Every structure is written in C-alpha cells, then in structure tokens.
Amino acid sequence: MGTPHNSASKGDIAKVVLMPGDPLRAKYIASEFLSEAELFNEVRGMYGYTGTYKGKKVSVMGSGMGIPSIGIYSHELYTCYDVDSIIRIGSAGGLQDELELNDVVIAQGASTNSNYASQFNLTGSIAPLADFELLMKAVQSAQELDVKIRVGNILSSDVFYNADSSFNDKWKSMGVLAVEMEAAGLYLNASKLSKKALCITTISDHLYKSEQLSPQERQTGFNNMINIALETAAKSL
C-alpha cells in the first residue's frame, strides 16, 4: 500500500535511492543510466524509478524543492519503504571564489536557516551531517572517476529570493562552499531515523560571478555528479 505521495508498493524501491529535486532529472537518470528501469510513482508528477546499475538494484526519485518537500519524501522512503540510504543530487549556487560552474561539491555538513529541527525539541542546535561511510565512498568514487571535488559545509536555505542583501556574504565569510535548499532536512531525517544520507551537488550558478547554467543544462547535465552518486550507491549495496 502506498502513501498520500507515493503509489509504490513495498519491494518496489531499492535500499539505496538517488534523489534529485527535479523529477525530470530522475526520469533522465532512469533512461540514461539505469538498466530495465520501471516507473513506481508519478503521484503529483514526482517520478520514481527502480532499475539496475552494474547489476545492483537502485532507485531514483524526485524530491521537489525545499526542505518541507524533501522532508516528506525522504521520511516516507525511510519509514514506509525500508530505504537505508538516500543520496541527494542537485544544483547549488557557489559562494567561494575558487568554485566554477559544473564543479562538484559534496556536503559533509549542511548549515541551515530552516526551523525544521525545532520539531525535535532539542535544548541546543544540532549540526546536520552526512553519513561518514557514504561520504568516504563518494570521495573514493570521485577519485576513481578522476573527477575533482570539494568537500565541506554547504547551506540549505529556505529562501531563494532573500530580502537581506548581506545574507550570502555572511555565510561566505564562514567558509560555506555553496547554497541549496534541501540537504539539511534530509540529514536531519536520517539522523532521527538512524538511516544514512549524503548530498552531492553541482555548481549551477555562482552568486558572486554572475554565471549560470541554462535550465536544459541543469535538467540533463551534471553527469559527473550522477556517476559519483551511482558508484557510491553500488558500493553501498
């Protein structure tokens, strides 16, 4: 039986799920990188597929934009479909000067301005972190693929168009590499549920260089990031 957001049955979804924000990127990955991919969900247009990669069962499913959306989909995957690991793959805006378009950034940590963690009633602030084993496998995969990566802290922001003109400057000054909108929520769900999560991003625009990729490049590009994620998934199965 499915959920309000996912029509899959138990067993339809692999233990490891790649999760782009854009459901059309999920469709692209399924058609171009997986063998024998089958659609398991299209509720609300949030496509999900399961196929094989190098003989291993792997799923890919869109999450939508923002922490509330990935919070729903990742929670259901972990709790209703027995998923062990979710690897978010998506775009990010570069903050640090040395980053270039199409650079791959792996989020060791995900700072956030979101209030998502308030639900846990903690007496302090929690640091949303990636699973160390997944992180190490991703670094190893990048080395094997000869893809240059940066590993460090990113920002998961609830706001795309920010009224505070100094917002990016403050996070840049703390050494934060890039900004996106989902990783912290995913990491927090994984921590609470004793699951595994990782976020791998590609720099699609730079917030200090006025550079950006086209919408088409964002949807069907990013192959280095995708290959790293798939190799990481295969190593985890």
Q: Residue 178 — φ and ψ, nearest 5°?
A: -160, 165
Helical (H) or strand (E) element with 188: helix 183-192
The amino acid sitting at 16 is: V
Active site residues: 205
Helical (H) or strand (E) element with 224: helix 223-236
Residue keyed to tokens 């703390």: 174
The token duo for 207 is 């917030």
Helix (H) and strand (E) counts in the chain = 7, 10
* 3-class state of residue 29 by DSSP: helix
* 3-class state of residue 233 by DSSP: helix
| Residues 194, 79 contacting (CB under 8 angstroms) | no
Rounded Cα–Cα distance for residues 215 and 218 (Å): 5
Residue 149's nearest CA partner among 126, 173, 123, 177 is 177
DSSP state, residue 9: P
Sign of the CA dihedral 36, 41, 45, 48?
negative
